[in-house]
Amino acid sequence: MNLTCVKCTSVLDKSKVGDIEVDLCPDCGGLWLDAGEIERLNSAASTEVAALRTALASSSAQAASSDTTAHCPACSAALREVVLGPVGVDVCTGCKGVFLDRGELDQALAAVKGSTLQQVLAAASSAT
């Protein structure tokens, strides 16, 4: 099944980072991560994550913005924007996948370093 980008509706390209399959947008540089993949990327070899950074940087456009409610490319549930460290990311309310805009990968990885995305989001929710 081909997934489409949350922001620009381009077909996402599948890419491997070690044994993790991620979905990259060739047009806007967005990145779709299925549930648990952001935590797994933190454990991946730095050279593999560097290759992912290079692939994301080679996209042809800047991050697209959208004023409409986006839906998950994997399960069609609604996405909601949540603060993850210093960035706002789109998290699926159904399958818990995450969409990162171009340039958000390193900040999102740093935010979940040593914990899970769900722990970080729970802590952020209880702080407000």
Q: Above 80 in pLDDT, residue 116?
A: no
% residues pLDDT > 90 (the chain): 39
Question: CA-CA distance, 32 to 94, in Å (whole number)?
Answer: 14
pLDDT, one tens digit per residue, over 45-82 is 788 888 888 877 765 544 444 444 689 999 999 999 98
pLDDT of res. 66: 47
Ramachandran region, residue 36 (left: φ > 0; alpha: ψ -120 to 50; beta: rest): left
Q: Which stretch of DSSP H or E encloses residue 23? A: strand 20-24
Tell whether the torsion through CA atoms of 89, 31, 2 and 20 is positive or negative.
negative
Enumerate the domain spans of the chain. Answer: 13-127
What pTM did the predictor assign?
A: 0.83
- In this prediction, residue 125 has a pLDDT band, given cuts at 50, 70 and 90, of low
Provide mean pLDDT across the span 36-40.
90
* pLDDT of res. 67: 47
Say yes or no to pLDDT of 127 above 70: no
- What's the rounded Cα separation, in Å, for the pair 104 and 86? 9
